[in-house]
Amino acid sequence: VHTTNFLFFVCYRALIFPLLIREGKPTPFFTFVLALLFCIFNGYLQGRSLTTYATYPPGWLGDSRFITGFLGWLIGMAINIHSDHILRNLRKPGETGYKIPRGGMFEYVSGANFFGEILEWFGFALACCTIESLAFALCTLFILGSRARQHHK
């Protein structure tokens, strides 16, 4: 289940999300390469951890840590996907300029997409209870937290 959750998000983010994006600012090649290397390393680390080293007691899927973590992951992913949808539809084709997103979690937090992804990966970390998943959640918090702060300003 843990690996399936991780693979589902990676497939969404790597295959579906890019196809939904309209024209935008080009991504610098160096940034693209760094993001690709991070995703490859993290994917390997998470996959190796879950398939080789992580062991769970019988009944783990009914444990409150797994259930709470899975719900956090699911809610975070829903917030992330919905927020991405709102952001993609802020401007009509050909329109430029800054617009403040409205609706969904944007009514409560200015970086709803970042909030959703942070919640998602802390939920994943709780459901997996591995040091690797916690490390990824903390990296996500620091990286996306700083981006959210920049966007808010």
Per the CB < 8 A criterion, the answer to whether 77 and 120 are in contact is yes
pLDDT tens, position by position, 1-38: 656 666 666 666 666 666 666 666 677 888 878 888 88
Tell whether pTM > 0.85: no
pLDDT tens, position by position, 101-137: 999 999 999 999 999 999 999 999 999 999 999 999 9
